[in-house]
Amino acid sequence: MNVRELLTEMKDTSEVIVDLAYASLMYNSDSMAEKVHDLEDDMDNLKFAIRYKVLMSCRTKEDARQLSGLLQVASAADRISDAAADIVDLLDVPLEKRPFVPAMLYESDEKIRATKIKSDSGMVGYTIGELAVEACTGCKIIALKGRQGGIYDPEDDVKIRAGDDIIVRGTEEGYNHLTEYASGKIPWDFPEESDEEPEEAEDEAENLEDDIGDDDE
Amino acid sequence: MNRLEVMLLELKDTSEFMVDLAYSSLLYNNKEIAEEVIFLSDTLDDLSTKIQDTAIELGQSKSDEVAKIAVVIRLQTSIMYIAEAAKSIADVVLRGLGEHPVLAMSIKESETTIALGKVSDDSVLVGKTFGDVSLSTISGMFVIAIKRDRTYIFGPGRGTVIQAGDVMIAKGPEEGVAYFKDLCDGTEKEL
């Protein structure tokens, strides 16, 4: 992986690891906590890999100045994953001593919720990517349970099966919508193929970024 | 929820919002967004102190709550690590080290990307609140900030009215970006 890919991976991990950490406390899940620790180990390896690549690529003083910022971001992503690992270590505290934690987390702005895929759900047999679950419901699937050991932070090519318990992160309203799909109450609404010219979109994006960038002050 | 739990939850929600804002500030190399992260970090420092004081008071009056207090303090500490990590990302922007193209690219390419939508006069969103349109449910894109004229609205609520000319900063999956942008610029009329 190059530096860009390493940093993308670190950013992605820093986000999903926090969701998984809170979800493990909500559902009292040791296997999810284990995944958090695995991701934290991955993050350590990514951190060393990115440091090495960045230091190798430094040629000038200006390189060093700019890349020091990049390394600070990488190290921040790593610190987030360390915090997530500390959060799941709370599972070692006996359950009766932390009854308020799941109830409190249930009220978060970003909801973590679970639902079951019924056999007559329109989602069965399709992959997460084909369904574009997050774009269609605002809910991101962070785990699928009920399979051997469960699948955490699933890739887009994971197929939804009847009987899966899915754990998602999103809004309450999006979750309510998703449960209707998952239960088979309403059929899945497949997104239309976008026929937009990608090049045009790119241009627009650049104009807009001038709006948000600091240069217009 | 009691007062302690309400404060702890606010700490948690704000820390996550700070991470979103921090990555946005990096993507657009934007100092105003980075400043907001620093501001939120200061408010969380105060909130942390309040949580600790309240926890200590509780421990003095009810000794059987000590185990709960230990859990609260451990959570508070971990959450503050996350908030501080967000602050150190914003710090990169404020130091003027945010212009390296790899930084912006790495965020654009990530699973949860960040995109901008400028609301045009003929957009269906104009005059509606976030509660009315449920943007995040229909597009997967969650609006974290709005630039309106020269100022920012951070973390718009369900009651916030969308206006023509707003530039919305949203996070979500790549598949949701095109629909979100089309809704904003008026190309897509169907909600």
The three-state secondary structure class of B115 is strand
- CATH fold of the domain at B111-185: Alpha-Beta Plaits (3.30.70)
Which pLDDT value is given to residue A39?
97
Which pLDDT value is given to residue A189?
83
Instruction: Parse chain B into domains and list their residue ranges.
Output: 3-101, 111-185
User: Same structural domain for residues A91 and A121?
Assistant: no
Mean pLDDT score across all residues of chain A: 90
CA distance B97 to chain A (A): 5
pTM: 0.93
Residues of A in contact with B109 (CB under 8 A): 4-5, 8
Q: How confident is the model at residue B64 (pLDDT cuts 50, 70, 90)?
A: confident
Which pLDDT value is given to residue A191?
64
Q: How many domains are contained in chain A?
A: 2
User: Same structural domain for residues A80 and A136?
Assistant: no
What angle do helix axes B3-27 and A61-88 make, rounded to 10 degrees? 150
Give me the torsion for CA of B86, B90, B92, B94, rounded to 10°.
-160
The answer to whether B142 contacts A214, with C-beta atoms less than 8 Å apart, is no
Say which of B109, B112, B134 has its CB closest to residue A15.
B112
β-partners of residue A167 are A114, A143
pLDDT digits (tens, 9 = 90+) for B71-116: 999 999 999 999 999 999 999 999 999 999 999 999 999 999 999 9
Question: Domain holding A145: CATH number?
Answer: 3.30.70.1450
Which pLDDT value is given to residue B191?
85
pLDDT digits (tens, 9 = 90+) for B141-191: 999 999 999 999 999 999 999 999 999 999 999 999 999 999 999 999 988
User: Same structural domain for residues A91 and A127?
Assistant: no
Which pLDDT value is given to residue A163?
94
Across chain A, where does the E strand assignment appear? Answer: 111-116, 140-145, 151-152, 165-170
The three-state secondary structure class of B83 is helix
CA distances from A21 to A62, A91, A114, B84 (A): 38, 10, 15, 18
pLDDT digits (tens, 9 = 90+) for A23-81: 999 999 999 999 999 999 999 999 999 999 999 999 999 999 999 999 999 999 999 99
- CATH fold of the domain at B3-101: Methane Monooxygenase Hydroxylase; Chain G, domain 1 (1.20.58)
Q: How confident is the model at residue B20 (pLDDT cuts 50, 70, 90)?
A: very high
Mean pLDDT, range B50-69, rounded to an integer: 91
The interface predicted TM-score of the complex, written ipTM, equals 0.94
Residues of B in contact with A132 (CB under 8 A): 140, 173, 175-176
Q: Which residue has the higher pLDDT, A201 or A152?
A: A152
Domain range holding A139?
Answer: 109-182
Which pLDDT value is given to residue A197?
47
Residue where a domain terminates, one of A72, A97, A122: A97
Mean pLDDT, range A85-112, rounded to an integer: 94
Tell me whether B19 touches chain A (CB under 8 Å): yes
